[in-house]
Amino acid sequence: MGKWMDKIYKPKLVKFALNIWPPFWGAGIQIIAISEDFRQVQMKLKLRWWNKNANRTQYGGSIFSLTDPVYSLMLMGILGEQYYVWDKEASINFIKPGQSDLFAEFLVSQEQLEDILRQTANGDKCFPEFITHVKDKHGNIVSEVQRKLYVRKKPKYREESEEQLAS
């Protein structure tokens, strides 16, 4: 993300852009809310005729897509221009069929954020892990998704940190 992107990377704009983004829109994924500090996101996966599987329940790929870029985008909003943030790996545990619209809430705690900042302070890589429970309209867990991210200061900010530490 460049400096110009930092200026426009705001929760309302991110929400709007992702809600019209073809992969999300086509899958029936909707962002319900993004907190002003990017630390909380609520999302919905609509059950539509085109995202049902052969058993007439939520297609597993759509459930997985519901969680795809969310934590990366949240950390980009929180950490800003100084950091690279990418998805590194992910896994999903399907617990029960999704027979209704599905919901997911994503949270970055103060403790998680402090841990990321501490681990990356000297330019080191960090691989934070997040667990998301996807729930049906009754609050029953349908799947559990684990995401591991790659977070690291960009080289020009690593150099500044090292210089600041030396002085």
What pLDDT score was predicted for residue 3?
63
Superfamily of domain 1-165: Hotdog Thioesterase (3.10.129.10)
Task: For residue range 127-164, list pLDDT tens digits in order.
Answer: 999 999 999 999 999 999 999 999 999 998 987 555 55
Counting Cβ atoms within 10 Å, is residue 145 exposed (0-12), middle (13-18) or buried (19+)? Answer: buried
What pLDDT score was predicted for residue 167?
47
Which runs of E-coded beta strand occur in 56-121?
Answer: 83-94, 102-107
Instruction: Give me the residue spans of the domains in the chain.
Output: 1-165
Task: For residue range 52-102, list pLDDT tens digits in order.
Answer: 889 999 999 999 999 998 999 999 999 998 999 999 999 999 999 999 999
Q: Which string of DSSP letters, residue by residue, matches 37-101?
A: TSSEEEEEE---GGGB-TTSSB-HHHHHHHTTTHHHHHHHHHHGGGEEEEEEEEEEEE-S---S-
pLDDT band at 1 (very low <50, low <70, confident <90, very high): low
What pLDDT score was predicted for residue 2?
56
Task: For residue range 43-64, list pLDDT tens digits in order.
Answer: 999 999 888 889 999 999 999 9
Q: What is the DSSP letter of 77?
A: H
